[in-house]
Structure formats: structure tokens, C-alpha cells
Amino acid sequence: MIRSMTGYGQAERDTPAGRLRLEVKTVNHRFFNSSVKTPPAFDRFERDLTEALRAHISRGHVSAFLSLERSSEREGAPPRVDLDKARQYREALETVRSELAIPGEVELGMLARFSDIFRVPESEAAPEVDTGTVRELADEAALGVVALREAEGARMHDDMAGRLTVMATHLDVIAERAPERLARERDRLREAVQELADQVEVDEDRLAREVSYLAERWDINEEIVRFRAHMAAFREALDSDGPEPVGKRLGFLVQEMHREANTIGSKANDAAIAQSSVALKEEIERLREQVENVE
């Protein structure tokens, strides 16, 4: 199943500490890459959040933000002041002022900028919030992400399937025109020889060898066969119903199709084939843009 790497999900739970809310956003990334932010004293859950999200999301940059809305009975709880740490900061600032001959005094406003001086103790910040609750939040939010990624993936599927159809049409034009250019070149060579030799009879054996040489140089049948095989493999991956991510496989196939299109263009020697090869590469580039956002 095609999934986009762009998604969003959220989940909330009431706990003794207050109402926990988890927001998860995902964007493109070659691998699974997570960034988890938690309120004070909840950093111990970062690993659990990451593992729970990884179970649902295999690729993409995942940003998770856990917030806490404190219950009314706890809103008035004063923060604890870490005086030892405040003294350390003051001494450090005094040292900087003295050593660098900076005028002025160390004031309260300076110390207030160090937020870790004022912290709610962990015992008060997260009472009775267990790992199971946090994992449930992560599972619910991740399922929301997956639902959006699958919905966007369905739209991407239709777009890419349409581009494959357009590419097949261009490839049919190339396959049809390829033999004609050899016949035209044979006739052109015959006329050129006759004109230069003052109507002397053309050596058909020599002409056949020249045409055979050109046919070998211009042969694009193998490229066409491989291109069609890549398109068939791409469509098979596109239509697969399995849970395995297919983004990397699609990316590889797009790269191979681009390689074959380049070779066809270099051997074109025909305006219609050259034009179709350019159109192929344009469609391939649009496919590449889509595939970069496929899980």
C-alpha cells in the first residue's frame, strides 16, 4: 500500500498530573528520524514514545510534542527554587564580569534567564503517569498519522498510475518509429551513392553492411524492453497490498527508467523519438518528485 510520508496525528489523556496531549507530525526523510519534546520531568518517556511511534512509522522525519495542561488543583503549586544552582550561576557570572572587566552588577534578571533554576520536582510534575499511558497516546497519535498518510498515498497512487500510462504511450511511439528510421537511412544512403556515382548501380551488399552497422549503433530494442520491465515492476509495487514500505524500491526503479530514457535519447537520430524521450524524462522527473514522499 502506498503511503505518503506527510501526516499528522494527536491524542489526549486525563492523568493525575493533568491532561496530557501528544501531537505527531511527519515529513520526508530517507529513514526513520525522530525528534521528541516533552515537558519537564517527562523526558524519561522519550524512548518509549520513539519506540511506540517506530512501530507504526517506518520512514520519515517524525516530530512528537508532548504537552501537559495541569489540573486546577495543581495549577497553584509553586515551583521549587534550586538555590545551589542559582549560586553557581551567580559565581560564574561574577567570574566573567571580573575577568573581562565588564561593568555592572549581576542582577536577578540575569539569573532568571536560567530556567533550570526554577523547576517543578518530578514527584509533583508527573504523579502516577505510567509508561502504558504514554504508549497509548503514542499509538493513538501514530494511527492518526498513518490514516492521513494512507489517504494522501491513495491520491499519489492515482497520479503515478496515470503517469505510467502516459509514459507507456510515449514508449509505444518510440518502438513504432525505431524501425522506420533505418529504412529511411537506407534509402537516403542509396540516393546519396547514386548521386555521387553518377547513377552507377549501387552495391547492395555494401549498402546492407552500412545499414547493419547503423542498426547496431541505433538499436534501442533492449532499452525499450528494460524500460517496460521497469514500468511493470513499478506498477506491481504501486498496487501491492502488503504492509512493507515500497518507497525505496520505487526510487530505484525511477532511477533505472531515467537511465534507459537517457540512452534512448542519445540513440534517437529521429525527431519524433527524441521528442518522446524528452517527454519520458519529464514524466520520470514528476514520478521522482512523488516517490520522494512515499514511505
Lowest mean pLDDT among 21-35, 45-59, 65-79, 91-105: 65-79
Alpha-carbon gap, residue 66 to 152, rounded angstroms? 25
Range among 68-82, 180-194, 249-263 rated most confident: 249-263
CA 20/CA 65 separation, integer angstroms:
10
pLDDT at 196: 57
Q: What is the pLDDT of residues 22-40, one digit of tens each?
A: 999 999 988 899 999 998 7
- pTM value is 0.68
Of 64-78, 127-141, 221-235, 267-281, the range with the lowest mean pLDDT is 64-78
How far is residue 151's CA from residue 259's CA, in Å, rounded to a whole number? Answer: 31
Domains of the chain, by residue range, sit at 7-76+130-148, 80-119, 152-291
In this predicted structure, the answer to whether residue 254 has a pLDDT above a threshold of 90 is yes
Residue-wise pLDDT tens digits, 101-159: 888 888 888 888 787 787 655 544 445 778 899 999 999 999 999 999 999 999 999 99
Looking at the chain, list the stretches that DSSP marks H as alpha helix, in order from N- to C-terminal side.
Answer: 46-54, 72-75, 83-99, 108-112, 122-125, 131-196, 204-218, 221-238, 247-266, 271-291
The pLDDT of residue 245 is 83
Which cell numbers hold the place of 1?
A: 500500500
Domain 7-76+130-148 coded CATH 3.40.50.2000: no
Does 204 score more than 70 pLDDT?
Answer: no
Model confidence pLDDT, tens digit, residues 157-183: 999 999 999 999 999 999 888 777 666
Over range 79-95, report the average pLDDT.
84
- Residue 226 in 3-state DSSP? helix
- Classify 23 in phi/psi space as left (phi over 0), alpha (psi -120 to 50) or beta: beta
Pick from 123, 136, 127, 128: nearest CA to 12: 136
DSSP 71: -
CA dist 87 and 112 (Å) reads 12
| Structure confidence at residue 125 (pLDDT) | 47
Kind of pairing, strands 118-119 and 80-81? antiparallel
- What is the per-residue pLDDT for 44? 87
Report the distance separating Cα 71 and Cα 58, nearest Å: 35
